Structure 1
């Protein structure tokens, strides 16, 4: 295996571990992580249909329908008729969902700030900051 292949494998594993650590640092409360993910789309991207949410998450429309139904029951989303096609329903996050996401993100950010501050030297922190644009480019790369 080439050095680049080994590095890619290591980076994938480390990003996965970091993601798990971040999720562990801020339990989602009474909703699941897949529900949190859907709420994240609605907060970032605005109103979406079940079909659009399913495409964004890479799941079947039926599965997303069940997720949205559970969020409706928990009063985390609200639906309204699409102004261009009244047969479709567009969903938005409720104020309660926005507050939950804000608190959850703050907990994860706090954990990451503490970890960077306690685990990395000042020089390592600067190196990490310089690597962020590179990681961003990788994250934005379409295959």
Structure 2
């Protein structure tokens, strides 16, 4: 999430205009969607704040994308992260300075550069994931057994929400 989406998620469930006019019979669905969006956004923000990571959100997102899809050219990474090439260039410079990515010549284009995750970058991603998982686990201890079972039962549905529309 970026700062723009954090501001949107911080809003109350009823204050945002929907993209499409909802079916009046789907008021319950709209209400659920609003509450889920707000809860997920706030939980994500709490995890990020409590984790006190030294890697800013866009840099972290770029690292994950390089890990999952790399090696990538700067323009491909910028497109995947929905930012401009100059913005991604600055992000990559910061990641490169920290030793988190490796830039190598593109064998198919002498002018191009391919970005891959460095060993240190992979280590840092593991550290961030471990810290964030521990933070969520600590929050889960606040719930009673029934609430934890409800979350476990909801995981397949939540994971299904991650599948892109085709």
Q: TM-score w.r.t. structure 1 length? A: 0.90
* TM-superposed deviation, 1:77: 1.1
Structure 1 unaligned regions, length at least 5: none
The structure that is helix-richer by fraction is 1
* 3-state SS of 2:52 partner: coil
Show CA shifts across 1:88-130 (max 9, x none).
Answer: 21101111111111111101101111211x2222222122112
Which of residues 35, 45, 50 is equivalent to 1:25?
50
* TM-superposed deviation, 1:66: 1.2
Q: How many residues align?
A: 141
Q: Partners of 1:120 and 1:45 in 2: how far apart?
A: 36
* TM-superposed deviation, 1:38: 0.8
Correspondences of 1:1-143 after superposition (within 5 Å): 2-29=27-54, 31-116=55-140, 118-142=141-165
Q: Partners of 1:137 and 1:111 in 2: how far apart?
A: 23
* CA-atom RMSD in angstroms: 1.6
Q: TM-score w.r.t. structure 2 length? A: 0.78
Structure 2 unaligned regions, length at least 5: 1-23
Q: Which structure exhibits the higher relative contact order, with contacts defined as CA atoms closer than 8 Å and separated by 6 or more residues?
A: 1
* TM-superposed deviation, 1:27: 1.7
